[in-house]
Every structure is written in structure tokens, then in C-alpha cells.
Amino acid sequence: MTPNSERRKVLIVGGGQSAPDGARIFLSSMGCECSVAPNIPQALASLEQKQFDAVVVDSQCLGSSAAEAISAIAEVCRVLAGRLVILTSENSSSEIKDLVSRYSLPHVQEDRLTQQLWSTLGSLFHPDVVFGRVTHIARPIVDNVRQPHDAGTRDANPLARRLLYVSGSVTVDLMLERQPDSNRVAITGQVLDSAKPDRRLADVPVVLQSSKGPVKFATTNKFGELHLDLGFEPNVALEIRVSENHWVSVALPDFRRGTRAEEKVSPLPETSSMLSFKKVATGGEEKESKR
């Protein structure tokens, strides 16, 4: 993004504070059209009424707990996925700082605002040139939809789909269950490491990525299990942080299709974190993308 690019519309959340006011003044000087909302509820109302290219949120508006912050971030991402930047400072709570780090959320330090904000926004508008973390694509090795039935038998639950993915020693076991007469899907699963059977992948960040960016966040429990409920859409993937710099991406099938016989394994979705992946000629994992 350059000063000569198209005029971007940016919503800044947290008016009256030094960091968001500084962001507004800086972005206006760079040619952006800035609007201000004092809090998350008013920001959501503005997002419903007007189209914005990005949202810059002061961390002070996200609440004091991680649960409150995740809820606020998820609400913004529901309307404007993948176009959120969080302003942090020395006064940001440790829970917010940990959340930003764990989920690799785009953020800018208040004291580095003029040096970092412009390039960070540019990375959201051009995700194919964003680098910073290594993500491996997990391969599907089991899909009950593609396994033939024995004669005279049928599915116990025709709306459920079991999938098993592998990336190196990491295994992701998922069950997707479409809710009857709705476009919602319940996802349950477990993340395991076959190289370290005693290792429990507890408290691991999980991000639901769409073609526009992150739309939902979760964390595994003490057994490495995850639970998500979502309104399903095509071209989505679960990204799971199995270690500090190692993420595993699991492409989800399009669950909007009808019966078991009609289901096909969908191709890997082009989520924002996958745009720069290079395919390995052996047909194994696609790697490595750095963001």
C-alpha cells in the first residue's frame, strides 16, 4: 500500500484515547478516510451501516479478560474478516498481550504507531506478501464419506462426517456434524502428536480462517480437544498452533452439499494464510508459508 493507492476507509475504535487519536491523525495524513467509534458495540453498528476496508481497535476497548477480547474480536471479524489491527501499549493487560501473541493477530505498539501501522495495514490488503510464521498443510487420510458401506448397512448419523488429517507427527481427528434444517455445523476434534504420545496439546490456539481472514477463535482443552459451532461457508480452514512458530492448517470440506453420496472432498481453500504456499511435487504437504 502506498500513499498514492486508492483512498481507504478505516474505522478506528476507541476515540478520545491517545493511541486511536494518533492512529486517526496519522492515517488521515496518509490519505485514508477515517471514522471513529468509541466502543465495540458502536463499531459493530457502523460496520453494518457502512463499508470499511479495515478496523483499528485500541486494546483498551477489548475488555480486561481474554474471553471478552475474543468475543469482541470475533464480532468484528464476523462483519469484516481479516481486516483488523489491534493497538497495544504498556497499559494493555497481560491477557490481551498473550491473546495477540497466541493467535498471531495483527497489532501495532502505540509507541511504534507511525513506523508500523501503515505497513501492517498494507499487509492486510495484500496478504500474499505477508510473512512471519511457518504453516504446514495437513493431508486428509481418512474421510468416512469416501469409504464404501458394507452391504445392508447405513450411516448411524448421515449428517456427520469424520475426517482424519496428518502433518508430520501431528494428527487432527475431526467430526463435523451438520445441524438439521440449518446452515450450522458443530465441529469436535482432537489434536495429537504421534512422536510424543504423552504430550497433551492443551490450551492450543485454533483459528478458523476464511478467504478473507480469521473469522473465529478457539482453544483446545487439557486433552487437546476442540469444539466449534459455526455457520458454515465454503473455502475455510482450521489453523492450529502446535508450537511457537509451527502452525498446521486443516482444509474443511464444503458441508453445504446434500447427502453422503453427494459429498466430495473439497479442494484446499485459498485462505489468506495460504496464498503464498508452494506445492511440493511429491504430493505431500504444501509448505512453507511464512507470515
Q: Give the model's confidence band at 37: pLDDT under 50 very low, under 70 low, under 90 confident, else very high.
A: very high
- The burial class, CB within 10 Å (0-12 / 13-18 / 19+), for 15 is middle
More confident residue, 257 or 204: 204
pLDDT of residue 181: 77
pLDDT of residue 276: 31
pLDDT of residue 250: 92
Domains and CATH numbers, the chain: 9-125 (3.40.50.2300), 134-290 (no CATH)
Of 44-58, 147-161, 176-190, 195-209, give the lowest mean pLDDT range: 147-161
Q: Give the model's confidence band at 116: pLDDT under 50 very low, under 70 low, under 90 confident, else very high.
A: confident
Residue 35 reports pLDDT greater than 90: yes
Each residue of 253-278: pLDDT tens digit?
A: 876 554 343 444 444 444 443 333 33
Of 78-82, 211-215, 286-290, give the lowest mean pLDDT range: 286-290
Each residue of 38-88: pLDDT tens digit?
A: 989 999 999 989 989 899 999 888 876 778 888 888 888 877 777 889 999
pLDDT of residue 183: 79
Residue 285 reports pLDDT greater than 70: no
Residue 16 reports pLDDT greater than 80: no
Residue 122 reports pLDDT greater than 90: no
- On average, the pLDDT of the chain sits at 77
Percentage of the chain surpassing pLDDT 90? 22
- The burial class, CB within 10 Å (0-12 / 13-18 / 19+), for 266 is middle
Residue 129 reports pLDDT greater than 70: no
**The three three-digit cell numbers of residue 67, written as one number:** 474471553
pLDDT of residue 283: 37
